[in-house]
């Protein structure tokens, strides 16, 4: 028993996956019970199927991994329903099981494996074509191994939840919570990638900085919730103006950036087309909820092209920002 405990401790300590844990347990279970086959199954109660996940076989009995049988026909279901762990005369007790007859089972032991929430995951089993009587110590070992597998499954579930939570956190850290668009941090990261890519592909990067003129009066007149709805509506409008591969981000309260790559030989014309497309997208009537709408005259849009060899995303953004302010001043002058 001391040797078994030492093996068990080592297996649990070094197990990184379910298979890492179960394979040694099946070996130890064979040594403890003396039965030909030891195996772990999974049970799909929706599909009403039982599958052998991992098995260890010796002697004449062969329980193949991957085999699937109807749950209603299994000895495991019968054992669970009867509250029975072992049977040393399967044909006499469960002779109606086609699977047992096909495999020639004589001795069978089984305990359920349950996940952390108590739901049935599967069963841990041992079987033989010969008749054996399993003592209480072997039954206790079987139950112990079942609990260890259940603990491991719960640990895997928690690790998966933590991984998903971390992924969601990382994604939220790169997204604007109001509009769902990439935020400034995400934009700068992607601009750096785009700058590197255009150098390799001999293309040009065009960046448009967009500021929503007269946004403060919208907030003052209609309230901040309406202002937020206006920003969301503007984000969707900008998305409709994008080509495949373009990027739009919200980088401040009422500031957005659009970036995309264009052929280098027609970059100036493409930049002008982008400016016109964005100016048109930001003009028009925008729904702000509650039956209200805003007739908006459009945003100030500054557009620049990244210089050949330029790799500093912040420098490109700064130039686009200055181009936007030049546009804003020109619009103010035109209004008198």
How long, in residues, is the chain?
Answer: 336
- Report the pLDDT value the prediction gives residue 155, as an integer from 0 to 100: 83
Mean pLDDT, residues 22-36: 89
Flag whether pLDDT at 283 surpasses 60: yes
Mean pLDDT, residues 104-108: 89
Write out 83-143 in H/E/C secondary structure. CCCEECCHHHHCCCCHHHHHHCCCEEEEEEEECCCCCEEEEEEEEECCCCCCCHHHHHHHH
pLDDT digits (tens, 9 = 90+) for 38-67: 999 999 999 999 999 999 998 778 889 999
Active site (catalytic) residues? 254
Q: Is 157 within 8 Å of 116 (Cβ atoms)?
A: yes
Burial code (b: 16+ CB inside 10 Å, e: under 16) for 8-36 equals beebeeebeebeebbbbbbebbbebbebb
Q: How far is CA 266 from CA 91, 99, 248, 308, in A?
A: 83, 72, 22, 14
- Report the pLDDT value the prediction gives residue 152, as an integer from 0 to 100: 87
Q: Quickly state the pLDDT bin for 318 (edges 50, 70, 90).
A: very high
Flag whether pLDDT at 336 surpasses 70: no
pLDDT digits (tens, 9 = 90+) for 215-273: 888 888 888 888 899 999 999 999 998 888 889 999 888 999 999 999 889 999 999 99
Rounded to the nearest angstrom, the gap between the alpha carbon of residue 130 and the centroid of all alpha carbons in its chain is 47
Among the residue ranges 121-135, 150-164, 272-286, the one predicted with the least confidence is 150-164
Quickly list H helices, 241-312. 267-281
Three-state SS for 52? strand
Mean pLDDT, residues 307-313: 85
Q: Which two tokens stand for residue 199?
A: 């150098």
196, HSE (Cβ side, Cα atoms, 13 Å): 5
Structural domains of the chain, ranges and CATH numbers in brackets: 2-154 (3.30.450.40), 184-335 (3.30.70.270)
Mean pLDDT, residues 104-133: 90
To the nearest whole number, what is the mean pLDDT of the chain?
A: 87
- Report the pLDDT value the prediction gives residue 245, as an integer from 0 to 100: 83
């Amino acid at each position: 028993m001391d040797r078994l405990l030492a093996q068990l401790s080592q297996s649990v300590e070094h197990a990184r996956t379910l298979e890492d844990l179960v394979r040694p347990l099946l070996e130890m279970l064979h040594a403890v019970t003396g039965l030909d086959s030891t195996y772990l199954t999974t049970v799909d109660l929706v599909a009403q199927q039982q599958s052998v996940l991992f098995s260890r076989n010796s002697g004449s009995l062969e329980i193949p991994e991957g085999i699937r049988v109807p749950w209603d026909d299994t000895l495991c279901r019968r054992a669970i329903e009867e509250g029975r762990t072992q049977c040393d005369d399967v044909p006499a007790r469960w002779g109606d099981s086609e699977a047992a007859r096909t495999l020639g089972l004589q001795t069978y032991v089984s305990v359920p494996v349950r996940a952390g929430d108590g739901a049935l995951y599967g069963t841990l089993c041992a079987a033989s074509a010969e008749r054996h009587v399993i003592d209480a110590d072997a039954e206790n070992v079987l139950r112990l191994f079942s609990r260890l597998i259940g603990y491991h499954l719960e640990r895997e579930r928690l690790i998966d939840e933590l991984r998903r939570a971390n992924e969601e956190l990382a994604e939220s850290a790169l997204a604007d919570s109001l509009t769902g668009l990439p935020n400034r941090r995400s934009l700068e990261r992607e601009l750096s990638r785009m700058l590197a890519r255009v150098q390799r592909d001999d293309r040009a990067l065009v960046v448009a900085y967009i500021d929503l003129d007269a946004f403060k009066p919208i907030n003052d007149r209609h309230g901040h919730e309406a202002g937020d709805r206006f920003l969301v509506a503007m984000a969707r409008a900008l998305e409709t103006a994008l080509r495949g591969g373009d990027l739009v981000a919200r980088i401040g309260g009422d500031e957005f950036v659009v970036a995309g790559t264009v052929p280098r030989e027609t970059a100036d014309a493409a930049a002008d087309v982008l400016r016109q497309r964005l100016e048109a997208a930001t003009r028009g009537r925008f729904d702000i909820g509650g039956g209200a709408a805003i007739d908006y005259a459009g945003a100030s849009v500054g557009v620049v092209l990244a210089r050949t060899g330029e790799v500093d995303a912040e420098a490109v953004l700064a130039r686009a920002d200055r181009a936007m302010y030049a546009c804003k001043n020109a619009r103010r002058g035109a209004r008198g």
